[in-house]
A and B are shown apart, each in its own frame.
Chain A
Amino acid sequence: MSTRLSSGGRLIDRARTVEYSFNGKRLRGFKGDTLASALLASDQMLVGRSFKYHRPRGIVASGAEEPNALVGLGTGARFEPNQRMTTTELFDGLSSASQNHWPSLEYDVGVLNNAVAKFLPAGFYYKTFIHPRAAWKHVFEPVIRQSAGLGRVPKERDADRYEYFYAHCDLLVVGGGIAGLQAALVAGAAGARVLVLEQTAHWGGRAPVDGVEIDGKPAEAWIKASVQALEKMSNVMLRRRTMASGVYDHGYVLADEKVADHTPGDGRPRHRLWRIRAGRIVTATGAIERPLAFAGNDIPGVMLASAVRDYVVNWAVSPGDRTVVVTNNDDAYRTALALKAAGLQVPAVVDARDRADGALPQAARAAGIRVLTGSAIAKAHGGKRLSGVAICAQGGEGNAVTEEIPCEAVAMSGGWSPVVHLYSHCGGKLSWDEAHAMFRPDAARPPTGADGTGFVFAAGAANGALYVQDVLGDATKATIAALQAAGVAEVETVVPAVKAEVEAPMIPIWVMPQGAGPDLRMKMWLDYQNDVKVSDVQLAAREGYESVEHTKRYTTLGMATDQGKLSNINGLAVLSNALNAPIPEVGTTTFRPPYTPVTIGALAGEARGEIFQPLRRTAIHDWHEAHGVEWEPVGHWRRPYCYKNGAEIASAAVNREVLAVRERVGLLDASTLGKILVKGPDAGRFLDMLYTNMMSNLKPGKCRYGLMCSENGFLMDDGVVARIDEETWLCHTTSGGADRIHGWMEDWLQCEWWDWKVYTANLTEQYTQIAVVGPKARAVLEKLGGIEVSGEEFKFMEWREGTLGGLPARIFRISFSGELSYEIATPAGHGRALWDALLKAGEEFGITPYGTEALHVMRAEKGFIMIGDESDGTVIPQDLNLNWAISKKKEDFLGKRGQERSYLADPGRWKLVGLETLDGTVLPDGAYAVADGFNANGQRNTQGRITSTYWSPTLRKGIAMALVHRGPERMGEVLEFPKPDGSSVKAKICDPVFYDKDGEKQNV
């Protein structure tokens, strides 16, 4: 059984006990434990069930590479599925539960899959579940979905908050092991702004565990001194618990800082997402040990040799009294020695190499450990925990078992793979290192930045410097190169001497034993979490899924939540053997961010709820809120749809508002209307290109309605343009279009007409704009006093500037309703005062605030088009009978040539008309008018569609606008509009101007 050793454990504080629970069991660990080390110390070998076969699984690793040990962590609004135990720091009250089993971890019905595993090889689901057709959706898929998946589904809204953090540095160092610290020391001394990120809670990485000496002292002392030195440097920033997740173009790096994962609910944000712009990046991300593929290598108790060493040295955890070490390299002997030093038994080191004469094997022999060279594990025995291993010759087929060794744990090492993810994310290339059987960053083909030079430099083990003696020198070299690329020429360096046992070469071992037959290969796990075995990869190769991407996708190798950190190279090697092609030719799959999975809430940041997107408020927003408003989202704004009096329903409110405007006077908050100032010597010429009609000849003091089209000729936006002075125009746009149109203007000015002397300013938020509309509008304004508003002095389509009721005002006499109408702009700071003054002045005339829906109804009654209703990106102004607003004189304007194309110039296009139902009812929104017959694809022919449809309280009937094939030539014809329910409505084509055809009302 696995237990806590009575002494040791460099990371735990035995004085501080931590209480936590696993599957409801209350347990105790120490401060400094991870959930994994604490559970191992409590003899919890079985921690989860695998994805496909629901096999019992234990802890394999000690860090981010862990494939098996996943739990649901926390409860309620702090519940999180799929948390890795090995990177979860223990805290008081931690509650965890294992996953993917029913009814319990110990007894899982899903293990039936394991019993029939030979019927479920890689890709079996592509070959079956085909008949009968309906069964996939109704039977097979639901069963597969229920059986797959890992963690439970969070039910509640996340109780935590997250934040973004922005950082800039000359040099980003990723990894706080000895390579990263050395890189930071070198760069810090050179005066560069340095940011150092370490994913764990501890500096120093593996060196202290491996018993290394630096500068004549234990590694631990050098690490401590280095961190202290760095903390004193004002140009260096150090962050622990921060995982650099991805490298993107131009030195952009994302990192996830786990601020409060180990102190949940303490009020701090749970994670902080670092958005870093780094001049250059040094990746000192270390290396990850590879498992060995032998039969039964997934039984709880089989662990990476490095992990066993970590658990013994860092956390004083014994994986069991007897641990067999199996290896193809010298480094794993360190584990044997560490176990021995902790007073534990190592019955044997099983070394696949024919000779093991290096310093470490010799030391092991000297410590009394039996070394079996040329040997392999034929098979590991056990179910929910390991009971022993069968030994055979590595060269054979595994049938001739030489020895059975009872043991509780196996420490395996298949060699090491540099962590090259960050180097590769942005296009850095790798080269195959035959000696260490690993891919390492190819310094000649780094990811390149905007200047074409490399911006990521791998250092230490991450660069393939696997022997610790070489690490600091390699890190120094990488840092100098990075600094020089960043323009720091003078770098002074000190490279401390590193002392450790010299390692003899490893030999690649991809399958153990070499000639293992199918029965053994079916039990050799490559990808633990996704249950991919050697036999699966070989099957994929046999079936022609030869590309490494095909193999990955067919077998799901490397696609689990550990992202293949343990399985990718082993899988690749098995594939390359099966294809009889060298490994570098087979190549790797693409390394994609993030390095380890990142909480989605952290990526979303603070933008939640009300601040999901900024809500734009007009100066009158609060008044609306207090007066029965029903809101309508329009872009980032909210506009009053209508104002409800008490229990009034929305449609009644709209009718009331329309009638109030038509009969008396209404008040509209039109502040969201886009207001873009265009100024400069070439402003007139510019606007003549932007609008379909002429704006340069507009006189100061006058207004003109204008249309804007895309280059393709389609109507984009409309609005009233006012000429302020000789060089200045104020362009009104639609509410939703303001930002887009401003961007559109700038696009042309910056990219095409960059030499024109024009500038633009989006003043939308600077002004409050209020429309006073209705027969009594003039009386209301006169009562406030100020700008002269008589019909003789201030005519339709003019504007005046002055004061109104003592407030600064610019009044536009324009109308979108057909009534006498003034739109009053005032600086936003005066907006609310103006609104209140107008309400007060209008009181005696029965002034009524109205919303967007009343606005829409009135404009439809008057036959005015609405962008987004009558236009949808496929409509040209000519379709809407707006030829009058298209200049015939201008040589060019945006959209002119587009509109000359044959299909757009075709007289047979659908054109704007009005519609009246025969029975007075309201036509269904969006309905199409059918024509006879069907097209070549069997679709019903159509001849028109409704663009706007309303109940007109003024006319007391349903009215609509529509685009109809040759519509204006067909007045009086009746069209049929089917509804989805099978019924249909008939409507007669009529003039779209339903109200005040001669414009008498707006011109009074």
Chain B
Amino acid sequence: MKRYSVFAIAREAMRHHTGWERAWASPEPKANYDVIIIGAGGHGLATAYYLGKNFGITNVAVIEKGWLGGGNTGRNTTIIRSNYLQDPSAAIYDKALKLYENLSQDLNYNVMFSPRGLLMLAQTHHEVRGYLRTVHANNLQGVATEWIEPAKVKEIVPIINIDGPRYPVLGALWQRRGGTARHDAVAWGYARACSDMGMHILQKTEVTGVRQENGAVTGVETSRGFIGTKKLGIVVAGHSGQVAGMAGFRLPLEAVALQALVSEPIKPCMDVVVMANTVHGYMSQSDKGEMVIGGGTDSFNNFTQRGSFHHIEETLRALVETFPMISRLKMLRQWGGIVDMTGDRSPIISKTPLGNCFINCGWGTGGFKAIPGSGWAMAELMARGHAPLAAEFGLDRFREGRFIDESVAAGVAH
């Protein structure tokens, strides 16, 4: 792989950029792989990448029904944070954050990780107490967060209205290391690195069945024929239930639409991410200048990648109230993604009833921020059969009642 750098750009500029290689190859499938990952989203590609990088397993295929990074990886609001309340969550999200901090260098692909800081506003006394608790918990988890007063909030976010009148800002949970990254670049960077290790990314290849013998997977039926494997990882977010169904087991998941939108671009006006859970909305500004806005999920199940418009209205009402200056901006584009929600709103990184089949799903509304940590843990689980970061996220927890419930810290979509 030719490395990306300013020198490479200068070299290519002299020959009309004709010398750039493909970012990832487009190979024909082999008959067999050591590992097949279904799903070339961020989590699937990161799993493949760390299988190769950490465990030397490179005879890997990542199979994708559509185009890589085309699911929730490419349609989220790019927020990265690790200020979670429960220990297992804080551990994996903070691992992800640490990996994000060096991801551009690690992948030699600028994923534009921007640790600009993240605020979660407290607008009820109950939220104040919830975030005070989170600060204590994070302190013991090694995650630096702090509670800040309204005046400091205003200093960090000059465009915010902290005086209500309906829900004055009472303070905020502040994570300096939180921020955003360029979502597509995360998928593309991992894909390029995987391809460089000789892994096969098979786009436009739909898995139609999972073949098994004696309680183990032998391979997958696809739109390009049967492909054998020694181990299978299912990392398909919204469609996890369907693929697990092919493998013959059920998951405690439901799929709902989550929406987001962007405004037209304007010059820089907000250099942090702000989340307002009481009024349901969050906002950041992209490098292009668009205000990137997200809100709530639909309360019914569907797969349309659209969503009910009243959520957009609710979110914008909340944000106009919080940031009055956005009233005269215009909504440029709205879209939806299908998120896979578990009963406790925490993910599943787990073994399955099939000995050599593993599953990573249930990231719900907050998966993007977890991508590197999720891939790291999933790779370790698949390679070794055990991963400390994944230990608490097993499927068994639903049978045992051992939930990891973050609702106290984040009542809405995150």
Q: Are A and B part of the same complex?
A: yes
**A712 touching B388 by the CB < 8 A rule?**
no
| Chain B residues, Cβ within 8 Å of A118 | 13, 16
**B329 touching A925 by the CB < 8 A rule?**
no
User: For the complex, what is the distance from the CA of A598 to the CA of B21, rounded to whole Å?
Assistant: 40
Min CB distance A229 to B, Å, is 34
| Chain B residues, Cβ within 8 Å of A427 | 304
| Interface segment out of the listed B44-52, B119-127, B234-242 | B119-127
User: For the complex, what is the distance from the CA of A612 to the CA of B166, rounded to whole Å?
Assistant: 7
User: For the complex, what is the distance from the CA of A844 to the CA of B400, rounded to whole Å?
Assistant: 59
- Whether A892 sits at the interface, judged by CB under 8 Å, is no
**A544 touching B140 by the CB < 8 A rule?**
no
| Chain B residues, Cβ within 8 Å of A522 | 16
**A936 touching B391 by the CB < 8 A rule?**
yes
| Chain B residues, Cβ within 8 Å of A612 | 165-167, 279, 317-318, 321
Considering the complex, give the chain B residue whose CB is closest to the CB of A119.
Answer: B13
Considering the complex, give the chain B residue whose CB is closest to the CB of A614.
Answer: B166
| Chain B residues, Cβ within 8 Å of A249 | 304, 306, 308
A-contact 0/1 string along B131-142, CB 8 Å cutoff? 011111101111
**B335 touching A592 by the CB < 8 A rule?**
yes
- Whether B116 sits at the interface, judged by CB under 8 Å, is yes
With beta carbons under 8 angstroms apart, the residue of B4, B67, B124, B321 that contacts A128 is B4
Quick one: which of A893-938 are within 8 Å of B by CB? Answer: 898-899, 901-904, 924-928, 930, 935-938
User: For the complex, what is the distance from the CA of A546 to the CA of B321, rounded to whole Å?
Assistant: 42
- Whether A384 sits at the interface, judged by CB under 8 Å, is no
User: For the complex, what is the distance from the CA of A980 to the CA of B133, rounded to whole Å?
Assistant: 11
**A604 touching B287 by the CB < 8 A rule?**
no
- Whether B399 sits at the interface, judged by CB under 8 Å, is yes
Considering the complex, give the chain A residue whose CB is closest to the CB of B262.
Answer: A559
User: For the complex, what is the distance from the CA of A935 to the CA of B86, rounded to whole Å?
Assistant: 13
**B87 touching A935 by the CB < 8 A rule?**
yes
- Whether A761 sits at the interface, judged by CB under 8 Å, is no
User: For the complex, what is the distance from the CA of A468 to the CA of B134, rounded to whole Å?
Assistant: 66
| Known contacts A543-B21, A978-B140; is-contact A153 B129 (Cβ 8 Å) | no
**A549 touching B67 by the CB < 8 A rule?**
yes
A-contact 0/1 string along B67-109, CB 8 Å cutoff? 1111000100000000000011011000100000110110011
Number of interface residues of A (CB under 8 A): 116
| Known contacts A547-B70, A594-B334, A873-B408; is-contact A604 B313 (Cβ 8 Å) | yes
User: For the complex, what is the distance from the CA of A899 to the CA of B391, rounded to whole Å?
Assistant: 23
Quick one: which of A585-641 are within 8 Å of B by CB? Answer: 590, 592-594, 597-601, 603-605, 607-610, 612-613, 615, 632-634, 641
| Chain A residues, Cβ within 8 Å of B203 | 547
**A154 touching B166 by the CB < 8 A rule?**
no
Min CB distance A634 to B, Å, is 8
**A246 touching B9 by the CB < 8 A rule?**
no
| Known contacts A145-B287, A712-B343; is-contact A157 B267 (Cβ 8 Å) | no
| Interface segment out of the listed B22-30, B220-228, B356-364 | B22-30
Most B Cβ at <10 Å: residue of A126, A154, A869: A126
Min CB distance A978 to B, Å, is 7
Min CB distance A83 to B, Å, is 9
Quick one: which of B317-338 are within 8 Å of A by CB? Answer: 317-321, 324-335
Min CB distance B191 to A, Å, is 9
| Chain B residues, Cβ within 8 Å of A593 | 333-334
- Whether A248 sits at the interface, judged by CB under 8 Å, is yes
**A544 touching B22 by the CB < 8 A rule?**
yes
Min CB distance B194 to A, Å, is 13
**B26 touching A546 by the CB < 8 A rule?**
yes
- Whether B301 sits at the interface, judged by CB under 8 Å, is no
**A980 touching B267 by the CB < 8 A rule?**
no
Considering the complex, give the chain B residue whose CB is closest to the CB of A899.
Answer: B401
- Whether A265 sits at the interface, judged by CB under 8 Å, is no
**A547 touching B321 by the CB < 8 A rule?**
no
- Whether A945 sits at the interface, judged by CB under 8 Å, is yes
**B185 touching A126 by the CB < 8 A rule?**
yes
- Whether A279 sits at the interface, judged by CB under 8 Å, is no
With beta carbons under 8 angstroms apart, the residue of A128, A137, A155, A939 that contacts B114 is A137
User: For the complex, what is the distance from the CA of A288 to the CA of B333, rounded to whole Å?
Assistant: 20
**A539 touching B313 by the CB < 8 A rule?**
no
**B90 touching A939 by the CB < 8 A rule?**
yes
Quick one: which of B134-154 are within 8 Å of A by CB? Answer: 134-137, 139-142, 146
- Whether B32 sits at the interface, judged by CB under 8 Å, is no
User: For the complex, what is the distance from the CA of A926 to the CA of B137, rounded to whole Å?
Assistant: 8
**B329 touching A81 by the CB < 8 A rule?**
yes
**B306 touching A543 by the CB < 8 A rule?**
no
Considering the complex, give the chain B residue whose CB is closest to the CB of A132.
Answer: B105
Can you name 29 A-B residue pairings with CB atoms under 8 Å?
Answer: A119-B10, A128-B6, A130-B5, A130-B109, A131-B105, A133-B104, A136-B113, A149-B289, A157-B327, A246-B334, A248-B309, A543-B21, A553-B184, A554-B184, A598-B330, A600-B319, A601-B327, A604-B316, A608-B317, A609-B321, A612-B165, A612-B321, A633-B124, A633-B125, A633-B166, A924-B136, A939-B141, A940-B141, A942-B140
Give me the 8 closest cross-chain CB pairs, A-B, nearest first.
Answer: A926-B133, A149-B289, A901-B401, A597-B330, A547-B67, A601-B327, A158-B327, A127-B4
